[in-house]
Amino acid sequence: MRIFLFLVLISFCACQTNSQKLNKKEPSASSDLVKIEKTEKEWRTQLSEMEYYVIRDKGTERSFTGEYWDHKEKGTYLCRACQLPLFSSETKFKSGTGWPSYYKPIDESHVAEDTDYNLGYARTEILCARCDGHLGHVFNDGPEPTGLRYCVNSASILFEPAQEMPK
């Protein structure tokens, strides 16, 4: 019994440590985002059924089915609901999970985090900081330099190709 309680305590502490690591954020000069608030009806008019399910109901698309999981073009990934720039193709990497993955956002103040224990362990949800749209989750198993994996639903983002330099 003591061993069981000890293991439970260690697991809880590990979850707390991981959660604290993920929730550390540096303040940013561009954190003065004006919040976008719409009614459920306005969001339903703007978003497709799948987009609404993921962005507003905090759903998840099936792995390997989204538009951007294997996307390799150079450019910027924006919030589908409000077009806030979120991730650069420069930080996108192949995680093998079937969802687009990035090791850092364009600006940390553009991505909000909310940790929950709904599944019995710490899981950190990522949201658009301007419209509170659900993007996915962040995990601490990503590549250097951050060690983070921002695992994003394709239904939550739009891609804007990089502009070519005139010759």
| Within a domain: 167 | no
Q: For position 167, what pLDDT does the model report?
A: 67
State percent of the chain over pLDDT 70. 80
* H-helix segments, 36-93: 40-46, 49-55
Residue 23: other Cβ atoms inside 10 A: 13
Catalytic residues: 151
Q: Flag whether 145 is in a domain.
A: yes
Name the band, by pLDDT with cuts 50, 70 and 90, for residue 1: low
* pLDDT for residue 29: 40
Q: What letters, b where the CB count within 10 A reaches 16 and e where it falls short, cover 82-121?
A: bebebbbbebbeebeebbbbbbbbbbbbbbbbebeeeeee
Looking at residue 9, its pLDDT comes to 40
Q: Taking the model in full, what pTM does it have?
A: 0.79
Does 136 reside within a domain? yes
Q: Tens of pLDDT along 6-59?
A: 433 444 333 333 433 444 343 334 467 899 999 999 999 999 999 999 999 999
| 1 falls within a domain | no
Query: Hey, how many other C-beta atoms are within 10 angstroms of the C-beta on 57?
Result: 8
Residue 146 lies in a domain: yes
Return the higher-pLDDT residue of 73 and 163: 73
The total number of structural domains that make up the chain: 1
- Higher-confidence residue of 158 and 5: namely 158
In this structure, is residue 28 part of a structural domain? no
For residue 9, being part of any structural domain is answered with no
pLDDT digits (tens, 9 = 90+) for 97-147: 999 999 999 999 999 999 878 788 888 999 999 999 999 999 999 999 999
State which residues form the domain around 50: 36-161
pLDDT confidence of residue 122: 83
**Residue 21: its pLDDT value, please?**
40
Q: In what helix (H) or strand (E) does residue 7 lie, and over which residues does it extend?
A: helix 2-23
Partner residues linked to 127 by β-bridges:
112, 134
CATH code at position 104:
2.170.150.20
Per DSSP, the three-state class of 109 is helix
Q: Is 66 contained in some domain?
A: yes
